[in-house]
Amino acid sequence: MAHVRNRRDVRVGEVVAVVGGAALLAASWVVVAATKRVPAAEARVFKAVNDVAAAVWPVVWIPMQTGSFVGSVVVVAGTGVVSRSKRLTWATLVASQAAYWTAKEIKRIAARGRPGDLLAGVQVRERATGLGYLSGHTAVAFALATVIAPSVPLAWRAPVFGTAGAVAFGRIHGGAHLPLDVAGGIGIGVLFGTLSRWSFGLGGDGLPATAGATERGHG
């Protein structure tokens, strides 16, 4: 019964996150599937971000690694060490892995090329192989952020999502992905992140202090 009392209720914002993430994924996929070319608006956004001064690249490269497979494992391990919460640690692991492997499957189905395959004059700073839609790095980064942010102090939530945002920006700036690739990644990341929190009983603002203390006390 104590576990039930400590568990937070699902809030409207989380329902919005799930619906919004699914909608963003679906909308970007529809546009990608409907045309074999890059829409003019997407091309303009890509060029604007890709042409940002090259000095920005080393700055975004470091946080961008949190969206990689190895980087995500490091984040999960760090979450476990800092929080000492099994539920939160498992939620970050499941969300990031689900986002990573689902992104790979969607790439295979959508079969969209990289920016260099579809546009001229791309400044390629990140050599990426395979297909473009959707961005796996972005999906993983937003899955991690969506799980972790509600369980940290309010002041840390903006930096957590800011890191995920840097990953999304970096994938475009580095010439590895187009904006719709990144939009799809954000959608799937938010979707899996929120569903993972629900699955591990981390609804609402996050893991209650009393439940966290119980977990720490029992190892």
Instruction: Give the tens place of pLDDT for each residue, 71-128.
Output: 999 999 999 999 999 999 999 999 999 999 999 999 999 999 999 999 999 999 998 8
The full set of domain ranges for the chain reads 18-204
Residue 6: per-residue pLDDT = 45
Q: Where are the alpha helices (DSSP H) in the chain?
A: 2-6, 12-34, 40-50, 57-64, 69-83, 86-110, 115-118, 136-148, 154-173, 179-199, 209-217
Task: Summarize pLDDT for 142-165 with one digit per residue, the tens.
Answer: 999 999 999 999 999 999 999 999
3-state class (DSSP) for residue 54:
helix
| DSSP code for 205 | T
| DSSP code for 24 | H
Residue 213: per-residue pLDDT = 43
Residue 18: per-residue pLDDT = 81
Query: How many residues appear in the chain?
Result: 219
Residue pair 89/83 in contact (Cβ under 8 Å)? The answer is yes
